[in-house]
Amino acid sequence: MNVLLTEAELRVAELAADATGIEAIAEVLGVRPEDAAGVLETVYRKLGPAKR
């Protein structure tokens, strides 16, 4: 399966993979925590639960 992530999705996924919390991810990206969480949810949806 070939899944394409946007640049923003990839950055959020990389930060999350380093066990960075949503609050810290949002701060690094300069967005609201709700926005970072939404992007991360999109990443999970694209990759599927097996990749989570």
**Residue percentage of the chain with pLDDT more than 70:** 90
Q: Is residue 41 part of a domain?
A: yes
User: Taking all residues of the chain, what is their mean pLDDT, rounded to a whole number?
Assistant: 91
Q: pTM of the full predicted structure? A: 0.83
Per-residue confidence (pLDDT) for residue 37, from 0 to 100: 97
Q: Is residue 22 part of a domain?
A: yes
Q: Is residue 1 part of a domain?
A: no
* Residue 1 to residues 38, 44, 46, 47, 48, Cα–Cα distance (Å): 23, 14, 11, 9, 11
Q: Is residue 35 part of a domain?
A: yes
Q: Is residue 18 part of a domain?
A: yes
Question: Tell me: the pLDDT tens digits for 11-28?
Answer: 999 999 998 899 999 999
Domain range spanning residue 27? 7-51
| Rounded CA separation 43/41 (Å) | 5
Categorize the per-residue pLDDT at 1 as very low, low, confident or very high, splitting at 50, 70 and 90.
Answer: low
Q: What is the 3-state secondary structure (H, E, C) of the chain?
A: CCCCCCHHHHHHHHHHHCCCCHHHHHHHHCCCHHHHHHHHHHHHHHHCHHHC
Domains contained in the chain, number:
1
